[in-house]
Structure 1
Amino acid sequence: MPTPAAPPDPPGHQPSTGLRADAERNRESILAAARRLYATEGLGVSMASVAREAGVGKATLSRRFATREALITAVFSDRMDGYAMAVTGALADPDPWHGFTGYIQAVCAMQAADRGFADVLTMTFPAAKALEDRRTEAYDGFVELIARAKATGHLREDFTPEDLVILLMANAGVIAATGDDAPDTWRRLVGHMLRSYAAPGTAIPPLAHAPTPTTLYRAMIRLGHPRPRS
């Protein structure tokens, strides 16, 4: 007896593999759009703006990333990995003071490369466990790095881990204010701060050139006429 033929697929039917492929394409489009917007505008970008940039509906965005924290975690997980690895590299330096200064410069450079990441390092996201675990790992390593640098006599005894948070907040502000017109200004800030952290007589990294009056003036004008948020 012949086997009955399977009923035809309804109009518009897609195989499950096709649905999975579409879902993955949507996810990658959302992540790429969020990376672009966060990198140039910071974390103040709305979820609706991300959906528009990705070319998907808000419902599609919500299915892939139910919360802002979930999207931020997915976008910045690799950068937080790099943040934690930077501490590991600094601890491996046989010269703790050199490891300390190199770590400060590396982390501030990460901020300068991505405004969204500059924001991530100055905020906390209790619901984003993966991000916060990496932040804790980096913090614990930095505490050890501080102790080693102080033991050499090169890092001031009154330096605390909170001083790094203050620096990252200040650096994020400088990057946001001058990134378009004087993008290397953050290097000058970091150089001055490293000098303030050094104990008397310690060799310090060279100070970067100051921005020109013209570029700072342009940055000040831009601050007075901010671009509208997406």
Structure 2
Amino acid sequence: MTSPPADQTLSPQTGRGLRADAERNRCRILAAARHLFATEGLGVSMASVAREAGVGKATLGRRFANRDELVNAVFADRMDAYVDAVTEALADPDPWRGFTGYLHAVCAMQAADRGFADVLAMTFPAAKALEARRAEAYNRMLELITRAKDTGHLREDFTHQDVVILLIANAGVVTATGEAAPDTWRRLVGHMIRSFATPDAPIPPLPEAPAPTALYRAMVRLSHAAQDSDVEP
């Protein structure tokens, strides 16, 4: 009987080696994607992720068939923290305080990671596990809103869509201000909480506005980014 070519013969040890290589590549891809998503947002290309990880696009494609699969793997732990935030808010004996604390906590997660800021403001239908956790957090958030309204401190015309609007707005602020004025999001959340509250609600102190020079740097940064995007590749 003719033996198969040497490159098609896999000993158990070689098989384990290939699996170990595959796992190393997967870890490198996840680390690269986590870094790029956190610093640049979800707009980075899959080719950029492969380049950052030091692997070929074919290797990336074998590990993650599409962007949704990669997003699902990168942000699984952060989505768990998102669910934990609303669970902790529901455990607060003061539902209004739990509600305002929840808004601060989630917006802080966005500020800490530009990629996660985008994740909370978008949907990824193919990322089944991530979307399941989002749905879990959403259902708990509805309960939190109802409890906050029962205190008389949250406006009756507030809806769950207003949370989504806040997250979209905060994602934009986080992206726009970047490192130039990194605490600007706190001011946004403070103003939004005031708009959500009834006249007699206890309102947290309004965070200080960013310094004019910091906002100017953020505006210059945005201008440069817009100019760069207009440059033909």
Alignment of 1:116-131 (within 5 A): 116-131=115-130
> What residue ranges of structure 1 are gaps of 5+ in the alignment?
1-6
Query: Which one-letter code corresponds to 1:60 in the other structure?
Result: T
Could you give the per-residue CA deviations for residues 4-50 of structure 1, whole angstroms, max 9, x where no partner exists? xxx8x937967111001100000000000000000011000100000
**Alignment-derived partner of residue 88 in structure 2:** 89
- In structure 2, the residue matched to 1:139 is 138
Q: Could you say what secondary structure the match of 2:55 adopts?
A: coil
* Partner of residue 10 from structure 1, selected from 6, 16, 20: 6
> How do 1:1-230 residues align onto structure 2 when only pairs under 5 Å count?
10=6, 15-226=14-225
RMSD between aligned residues: 1.7
Equivalent position SS for 1:225: helix
Equivalenced residue count is: 223
- Using the aligned pairs only, state the percent identity: 73
TM-score, normalised relative to structure 2: 0.92
Q: Secondary structure at the match of 1:211?
A: coil
**Which amino acid is 1:10 matched to?**
A
Secondary structure of the structure 2 residue equivalent to 1:157:
coil
CA apart distance, 1:201: 1.3
| AA aligned opposite 2:180 | D
1:40-91, Cα deviation, whole Å (9 max, x unpaired): 1100010000000000000000000011100000000111111111111110
The one-letter code matched in structure 1 to 2:28 is S
Matched residue of 1:132: which SS? helix
Q: How far 1:179 moved relative to its partner?
A: 1.6
SS of the counterpart of 2:75? Answer: helix
Structure with the largest fraction of helix: 2
- Kindly provide the amino acid, as one letter, of the partner of residue 33 in structure 2: A
Match of 1:4 in 2: none
| 4+ residue runs over 6 A deviation | 11-14
Q: Deviations over 1:93-129 (max 9, x none)?
A: 1100000000000000000000000000011111111
Q: Structure 2: how far apart are the matches of 1:61 and 1:129?
A: 20
Per-residue deviation, 1:182: 0.4
**Ranges in structure 2 where 5+ consecutive residues have no aligned partner:** none
SS of residue paired to 1:15: helix
Alpha-carbon distance in 1 for matches of 2:67, 2:124:
10
Shift of the alpha carbon at 1:180? 1.6
Give the superposition deviation at 1:190.
0.3
Q: Which residue type is aligned with residue 68 of structure 2? A: E
The CA distance in 2 between the partners of 1:108 and 1:94, in whole Å, is: 22
Cα distance between partner residues in 2 of 1:137 and 1:206: 31
Mapped to 2, the partners of 1:214 and 1:208 lie a distance apart of 17
What is the alpha-carbon distance in structure 1 between the residues aligned to residue 211 and residue 89 of structure 2? 33
- Tell me, in whole angstroms, the C-alpha distance in 1 between the residues paired with 2:67 and 2:165: 25
Which amino acid in 1 is paired with 2:84? M
